[in-house]
Each structure stands twice: as C-alpha cells, then as structure tokens.
Amino acid sequence: MSFTVPANLEAEIDKLITHYPVKRAASLMVLHAIQEHFGWISQEAVEWTAKKLELQPINVYELVTFYPMLRQQPMGKYQIKVCRTLSCALGGAYELHKHFCEKLGLDAHAHGPQTTKDGKFTVEFVECLASCGTAPVMMVNDDFHEAVSHAKADEIVGRCK
C-alpha cells in the first residue's frame, strides 16, 4: 500500500516542526496536519510521522491511540457527534444516539465511532460540547445543533447530501 505525503503538506509539516524546541514536541501538530489532509491516520502515516520526527513508531502509536479524535479508521463524510456528558445524558442523549444508529443501520451498543457501509455517516458519543442549558446537543462535522429532538435529528440527517 502506498502512502505518499504531497509536497505542500510535507512543507507545512516541516515548517510546523521548526516551531518546537525538539522534534518530538511537534508530534501532535504533525498528526493533526496529516488527519486534516487524509481524514484519518493510517499505520503508514504513523510510521511516516515517526521517521519524520526521528522517533520509533511506537512513540507515535501511543499518541494516536490515546486521543479519540485522532482517527485510526476512515470516518464518514458526515461525523455526527452526540454529547453524553451529564446534562445531555439526562436530556436524552442516549435516546438520540440510539435514534441515529437505528435510522442509519448502526449498532448503538458498539464501543467507539460507528460508520455506515457507504461511508457517508459516522455516529459517536463525545464529551461535553459546552452547551449544557440546551441539552441534548450534537455536532455534524463543525456545525453545532442544540436541543435536538428526534424530529430535528431526522431533518439534520435529511440535509446531509
């Protein structure tokens, strides 16, 4: 499998590295840049990053597995993130999550992000989105939605083309 980093991304990463006193310190920013471009971080990307930063692959792999927002699998075109911290949990976040999963044919009880077979949607729980007064809240990619009823949820999904 070929993993190639385009020249402009590599130039951006090289510049990023210069912002830190030691190469290792740039690890997270380099991973962000890679995820921004590819959408996820493959094993080849981990190895490429390790080589770039003069580290062992395990050092980068530790980071990638630690942060849930660093993706180890390709994600859907639309990433539905349902908040499940206390207020939202009380406000029906679990029901909302289940509603999405049932609507999109996903397993509501599986651990971690669930992606539809066609690669269009990913549904997952996230922690506090900082809008406890309007629970339950959720995000679709970078768009924020408050007080999401099941009807509103259907409408949101409908708008995703």
Partner 1 sequence: MSAAPTTETKPAPPAIEKIKVKVDGREIEVPRLTADWSGKLMPTTMIQACELAKTDVPHYCYHPKLPIAGNCRMCLVEFGTPALGPDRKPILNPDGTPKVVKSPRPAIACATPVSPGMEIYSNTPGVKQMREGVLEFLLINHPLDCPICDQAGECKLQEYSVDYGQSASRFVEPKVHKPKSVDLGPRIMLDDERCILCTRCIRFTKDIAGDDALGIINRGSFNTLTAYPGKAFDNNYTLNTVDICPVGALTSKDFRFQMRVWFLKETKSVCTSCATGCNILIGSREKKIYRYTPRENDAVNGPWMCDYGRLNYKWIGREDRLTKVQSPKSKVQGQPASWSSALTEIAELLKKTPAGSVAIIASARQTNEELWLISKLKAKLGAISDSVSRMGEGDKLLVSADKNPNTNGAQLTGIAANLMGANLPKIVEGIRNGKIKTLIVFGEDVTRHGMGADLLGKLETLIVSDILPNATTKLAHYLLPGCAHAEKRGTFTNTKGRVQKFMKAVEPPGDARPEWEFLHDLVCNVTGQDGFLTIEGLFNEMANAVSALNGLTWAGIGDAGVTVKI
Give whichever of 62 and 118 is closer to partner 1, judged by the CB atom: 62
Give whichever of 65 and 141 is closer to partner 1, judged by the CB atom: 65
* Cα angle 20-26-30, degrees, rounded to a multiple of 5: 140
Q: Which tokens in the block code for residue 134? A: 């309007």
Q: Taking CB under 8 A as the rule, does residue 56 contact partner 1?
A: yes
- Write the single-letter amino acid at 161: K
Size of interface with partner 1, in residues (CB under 8 A): 10
Q: Is 124 exposed, middle or buried (0-12, 13-18, 19+ CB in 10 A)?
A: buried
Give whichever of 56 and 149 is closer to partner 1, judged by the CB atom: 56
Residues in the chain: 161
Question: H-helix or E-strand containing 147?
Answer: none
Stretch that binds partner 1, among 53-61, 76-84, 121-129, 145-153 (CB under 8 A): 53-61
Q: Taking CB under 8 A as the rule, does residue 73 contact partner 1?
A: no
Q: Taking CB under 8 A as the rule, does residue 65 contact partner 1?
A: yes
Q: Which residues, other chains included, contact 87 with Cβ-Cβ below 8 Å and sequence gap of 6+?
A: 132, 133, 135
Give whichever of 40 and 150 is closer to partner 1, judged by the CB atom: 40
Q: Please identify which residue in 7, 66, 109, 161 interacts with partner 1, judged by CB under 8 A.
A: 66
Q: What is the CA radius of gyration of the chain?
A: 18
Q: Which residues bind partner 1 (CB under 8 A)?
A: 43, 55-59, 61-62, 65-66
